[in-house]
């Protein structure tokens, strides 16, 4: 009833402003009635009754960013969870499952998560122990500890016996030697993705000289999509590029908007090739996309469980994870 009255009042004022151009002056509201209508409008505006009609900055809650360290996200609102995802005033996670035919009598299941956040600090990483340690833990356990709205396995940071990689976690440099045969994903201070194909030290130095801050960096790959261009996967890249295996990849759709895709076969270790994975992300609108550790390592955790065909009994312990956090909790 309140909104109806306010709407009528708003329309009346707008009509009164347009009348001089539409009808003879003798038909206009007299000055006293016009003044009364204008005063009533001001009262409604001052009381906040028009806030639903005229959006204002005050209607958008401002949240304190999370510290750029290994501290957890803020507690999640249990009422924000549904079967289709999670939402509060600072983050939205949408989940979808599809089946995709990738060949003759070959069908795989896609687990798709799209994520929108309001601040770069909500895209975070966590490690099972100290950043450079070899300690491992279940992604599901790390997700619970860090109040993750959505969590996924990363690139198994500790599983690199030659230590030839360029790795950052939450601004902490862990390894500094780029691997010239592997691709690199860097996430900067704005939570934007930057892909380096066959990364080298000069490229990274130029990136930093341009004023960027490296928050997270992952040596793994391959890069699947770079600056909106679908890449052709090197047949010799590694990680069985042409084999059909379970895969996990993360991509960026737009500023502060991301997509995660986990592909699992309907039975056993079946899945997709790396090139098929790139095409899937491209078709879903990613402008940057990067392949993460797949196979049995591929893990996607949501609301204390798995958004995939996995249980704690067959979850692989790993050294690190990527996750999305809320700003809205106390």
Q: What is the pLDDT of residue 26?
A: 41
Q: Are residues 40 and 105 in the same domain?
A: no
Q: What order of strands is seen across the sheet that includes strand 150-153?
A: 123-127, 320-324, 150-153, 300-302, 305-306
pTM of the complete model: 0.80
Quick check: is 52 in a domain?
yes
Q: Are residues 40 and 117 in the same domain?
A: no
Domain count, the chain: 2
Q: What is the DSSP letter of 119?
A: S
pLDDT above 70 coverage of the chain, percent? 78
Quick check: is 193 in a domain?
yes
Q: Are residues 245 and 319 in the same domain?
A: yes
Q: Are residues 88 and 137 in the same domain?
A: yes
Q: Are residues 22 and 98 in the same domain?
A: no
CA 323 → CA 73, 107, 113, 121, distances in Å? 9, 28, 12, 11
pLDDT, average across residues 10-14: 51
Quick check: is 219 in a domain?
yes
Q: Are residues 112 and 241 in the same domain?
A: yes
Q: Are residues 55 and 85 in the same domain?
A: no
| Rounded-to-integer distance, Cα 241 and Cα 183, Å | 14
Q: Is the confidence at residue 41, as pLDDT, over 90? A: no
| Rounded-to-integer distance, Cα 182 and Cα 136, Å | 23
Q: What is the pLDDT of residue 287?
A: 98
Q: What is the pLDDT of residue 241?
A: 82
Q: Which tokens go with 59?
A: 């209607």
Q: Are residues 208 and 319 in the same domain?
A: yes
Q: Are residues 192 and 50 in the same domain?
A: no
Q: What is the pLDDT of residue 140?
A: 95
Quick check: is 228 in a domain?
yes
Q: Are residues 14 and 110 in the same domain?
A: no
Quick check: is 232 in a domain?
yes
pLDDT digits (tens, 9 = 90+) for 246-286: 999 999 999 999 999 999 976 556 899 999 999 999 999 99
What is the 3-class SS of 41-102, one letter each residue? HHHHHHHCCCCCCCCCHHHCCCCCCCCCCCCCCECCCHHHEECCEEECCCEEEEEEEEEEEE
Q: What is the pLDDT of residue 291?
A: 96
| Rounded-to-integer distance, Cα 296 and Cα 275, Å | 19
Q: Are residues 54 and 196 in the same domain?
A: no
Report the range of poorest mean pLDDT among 75-84, 149-158, 179-188, 217-226.
Answer: 149-158
8 A C-beta contact, residue 289 and residue 138: no
| Rounded-to-integer distance, Cα 252 and Cα 114, Å | 9
Quick check: is 66 in a domain?
no
Q: Are residues 45 and 113 in the same domain?
A: no
Report the range of poorest mean pLDDT among 35-44, 79-88, 242-251, 283-292.
Answer: 35-44
| Rounded-to-integer distance, Cα 45 and Cα 315, Å | 56
Q: Which domain holds residue 41?
A: 2-59
Exposed, middle or buried, 257 (CB in 10 Å: 0-12/13-18/19+)?
middle
Q: Is the confidence at residue 57, as pLDDT, over 50? A: no
Q: What is the pLDDT of residue 56?
A: 39
Quick check: is 235 in a domain?
yes
Q: Which tokens go with 279?
A: 């095409």
Helices marked H in the chain = 2-18, 31-47, 139-145, 201-209, 274-283
Quick check: is 104 in a domain?
yes
8 A C-beta contact, residue 186 and residue 194: yes
Where is pLDDT greater, at 189 or 105? 189
pLDDT digits (tens, 9 = 90+) for 128-168: 998 888 899 999 999 999 999 999 999 877 666 456 889 99
């Amino acid at each position: 009833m309140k909104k109806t009255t306010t709407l009528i009042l708003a329309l009346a004022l707008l009509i009164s402003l347009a009348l001089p151009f539409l009808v003879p002056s003798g038909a206009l509201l007299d000055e006293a009635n016009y003044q009364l209508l204008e005063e009533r409008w001001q009262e409604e505006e001052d009381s906040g009754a028009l806030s639903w009609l005229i959006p204002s900055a005050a209607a958008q809650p401002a949240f304190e960013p999370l510290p750029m360290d290994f501290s957890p996200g803020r507690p999640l609102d249990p009422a924000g969870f549904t079967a289709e995802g999670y939402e509060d005033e600072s983050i939205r996670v949408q989940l979808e499952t599809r089946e995709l035919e990738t060949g003759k009598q070959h069908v795989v299941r896609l687990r798709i998560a799209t994520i929108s956040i309001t601040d770069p600090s909500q895209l975070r990483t966590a490690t099972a122990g100290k950043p450079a340690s070899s300690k491992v833990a279940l992604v599901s356990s790390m997700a619970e500890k860090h109040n993750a709205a959505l969590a996924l396995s990363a690139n198994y940071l500790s599983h690199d016996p030659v230590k030839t990689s360029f790795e950052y976690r939450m601004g902490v440099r862990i390894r500094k030697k780029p691997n010239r045969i592997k691709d690199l994903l860097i996430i900067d201070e704005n939570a934007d993705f930057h892909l380096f194909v066959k990364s080298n030290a000069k490229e990274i130095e130029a990136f930093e000289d341009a004023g960027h801050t490296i928050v997270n960096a992952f040596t793994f790959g391959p890069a699947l999509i770079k600056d909106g261009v679908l890449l052709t996967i090197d047949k010799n890249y590694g990680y069985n590029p042409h084999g059909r295996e379970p895969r996990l990849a993360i991509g960026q759709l737009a500023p502060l908007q991301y997509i995660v895709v986990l592909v699992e076969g309907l039975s056993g270790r079946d899945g997709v090739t790396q090139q098929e994975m790139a095409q899937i992300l491209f078709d879903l609108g990613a402008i940057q996309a990067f392949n993460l550790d797949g196979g049995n390592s591929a893990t996607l955790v949501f609301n204390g469980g798995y958004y995939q065909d996995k249980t704690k009994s067959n979850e692989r312990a790993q050294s690190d994870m990527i996750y999305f956090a809320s700003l809205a909790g106390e």
